[in-house]
Amino acid sequence: MNYLKDPIEIEKKSFEIIGSLIDESKFDERELKIVKRVIHATADLDFSNILKISSGAIEAGLSALKEGFAIVTDTRMIEAGINKQALKKVGAEVKSYIDLPDVEKIAKEKGITRSMAAMIKASEDERAKIFVIGNAPTALFKLCELVNEKKIQPSLIIGVPVGFVGAEESKEEVKKLGVPYIITEGRKGGSTVAVAIVNALLYML
């Protein structure tokens, strides 16, 4: 059978196909890198329409990464998917608080989800500047509350939770914060999308 076997060539060909299927003129060079990597990870061209990048978001994310600030995620899956070699090169780190005993305790005491409790825990870390939410809308809602309460000041919010309950609404709340953001409008998103966005930023460095 005749088919591509070289991973580099496969990725190159995939990005060429994606470019031929979307309107590249809607994005600048760096935005396009993010959009293409998300589509490459999902095979869903709709992300070229629903991925929204606020003014200055890419610059804010790159600056935070260069300074070695922490990336906070809402799932271990996202933490596992982020390119560790690329992180190491810039001296940044990724953290997920979801399964810490303190987080479970906070969740039980307050009657909230562990994802929400994890955001409360993350607010104690002054080096937590990039927040990446790909699974839990409740985590994104809580993050928005913490920002509004001035308990945390993110450099960038990547808000792409997936689902039917709260996913769309939580992303709309992010737009109101005045914080640089990369989100997906509507119900689509997920950990795979979140990882693709973070890795696209890392590869720009």
CB 67 within 8 Å of CB 45: no
In order, the DSSP letters of 51-74 are: EEE-TTHHHHHHHHHHTTPEEEES
Distance of alpha carbon 33 from alpha carbon 6, whole angstroms: 21
How much of the chain is in helix, strand and coil states, percent to nearest 5? Answer: 55, 10, 35
Strands (E), the chain: 51-53, 70-73, 93-96, 128-133, 156-159, 181-184
Query: So which residues are the catalytic ones?
Result: 40
Q: How many CB atoms lie under 10 A from the CB of residue 117?
A: 25
Q: Is 8 exposed, middle or buried (0-12, 13-18, 19+ CB in 10 A)?
A: exposed
